[in-house]
Amino acid sequence: MASILRVNMSDLSVKKEPVPDKYKKYAGRALTDAIIFNEVPPKSDPLGPANKLVFAPGLFGGTTAPNGGRISVGAKSPLTGGLKESNSGGQVAHALSKVGLAAVVVEGKPVDANTVYVLDIDENGDGSLMAAPELKGLDNYATAEKMRAFKGDAKIATVTNGPAGEMLMKAAGIAFSDMKDLPNRFAGRGGLGAVMGSKGLKGIAVATGGTKAVEHADKDAFIAAVRKFSNALKEHPVSGQGLPTYGTNVLANIINEAGGYPTRNFSDGRFEGVEGISGETMREITLARGGNVKHGCHTGCVIQCSRYYVHEDGSYWTKGPEYETAWAFGADCGIDSMDGVAALDRRCGELGLDTIEMGNVIAVYMESGKVAFGDVAGALAALEECAKGTETGKILGNGAEATGNAFGVTRIPVVKHQAMPAYDPRPIQGIGVTYATSTQGADHTAGYSITANVLGVGGTVDPLKSEGQAALSQGLQIATAMLDSFGLCIFVAFPVLDIPAAFEAIFEMASAHTGDTWDADALMKLGREAIAFERLFNEGAGFTAADDRIPAYMLTEKLPPHGSVFTVTDAELDSVHDFVAATAAEMGITKPE
Partner 1 sequence: MRIELALFASLEPYLPDADVGSGRRTRMIDLPDGTTVGEVVARLGLPDQPRICFIDGRGVQESDAIRAGSRLAIFPPVAGG
Residues of this chain that bind partner 1 (CB under 8 A): 236-238, 241-243, 245-251, 253-254, 257-259, 270, 274-275, 279-280, 305, 322-324, 444-445, 448, 450-451, 454-457, 460, 462-464, 490-491, 494, 561-562
Closer by beta carbon to partner 1, 350 or else 498: 498
Q: Is 71 exposed, middle or buried (0-12, 13-18, 19+ CB in 10 A)?
A: buried
Quote the CA–CA distance of 141 and 164 in Å, as a whole number. 14
Of 125 and 425, CB closest to partner 1: 425
DSSP 528-592: HHHHHHHHHHHHHHT--GGGSS--GGGGTSPBTTTTB-----HHHHHHTTTTHHHHHHHHT----
Closer residue to partner 1, CB minimum distance, 13 or 253:
253
**Cβ of residue 29: shortest distance to partner 1, in angstroms?**
16
279 contacts: CB under 8 Å, gap ≥ 6: 246, 247, 248, 249, 250, 251, 252, 253, 323, 326
Picking from 374, 380, 324, 376, the residue whose alpha carbon sits closest to that of residue 348 is 380
Question: Considering the complex, what minimum distance in angstroms separates the CB of residue 146 from partner 1?
Answer: 33
CA–CA gap between residue 358 and residue 328 (Å, rounded)? 8
Question: Which CB, 46 or 320, lies closer to partner 1?
Answer: 320
Say if strands 3-8 and 101-107 run parallel, antiparallel, or are unpaired: parallel
Do the Cβ atoms of 248 and 494 come closer than 8 Å?
no
**Least CB distance to partner 1 at residue 537 (A):** 25
CA dist 494 and 454 (Å) reads 13
Q: Which is nearer to partner 1, 251 or 436 (CB)?
A: 251
C-beta closer to partner 1: residue 254 or 587: 254
Of 474, 448, 445, the residue nearest 548 (C-alpha): 474
The residues with which 56 forms a beta bridge, in sequence order, are 72
Collect contacts of 436-439 with beta carbons under 8 A, ≥24 apart: 436/548, 436/549, 436/550, 436/568, 436/573, 437/473, 437/477, 437/548, 437/573, 437/576, 437/577, 438/477, 439/82, 439/83, 439/531, 439/534, 439/535, 439/538
Least CB distance to partner 1 at residue 421 (A): 9
Min dist. Cβ of residue 133 to partner 1 (A): 39
CA 574, CA 31: separation in Å to the nearest integer? 26
Nearest residue (CB) to partner 1, 78 versus 359? 359
Nearest CB to partner 1, comparing residues 410 and 460? 460
Nearest Cα residue to 85 out of 401, 422, 490: 490
Q: How far is the CB of 440 from partner 1 (least distance, A)?
A: 14
- In whole angstroms, give the CA distance from residue 164 to residue 491: 29
Q: CB of residue 395 vs partner 1: minimum separation in angstroms?
A: 29
What phi and psi, each to the nearest 5 degrees, are found at residue 191? 75, 25
Nearer to partner 1, 160 or 451 (CB): 451
Q: How far is the CB of 90 from partner 1 (least distance, A)?
A: 17
At its nearest, how many Å lie between partner 1 and the CB of residue 343? 22
**Contact by Cβ (8 Å): 172, 187:** no
CB of 380 to partner 1, least distance (A): 26
**Smallest distance, Å, CB 64 to partner 1?**
24
Backbone angles phi, psi at 367, to 5 degrees: -65, -25
Could you tell me where the DSSP H helices lie in 138-241?
140-151, 163-166, 192-198, 219-235, 237
Smaller CB separation from partner 1, 183 or 321: 321
The residue among 46 and 441 lying less far from partner 1, judged by its C-beta, is 441
Q: Whole-angstrom Cα distance, residue 122 to residue 144?
A: 17
* Closest approach of partner 1 to the CB of residue 43, in Å: 33
Complex with partner 1: residue 320 or 404, whichever CB lies closer = 320
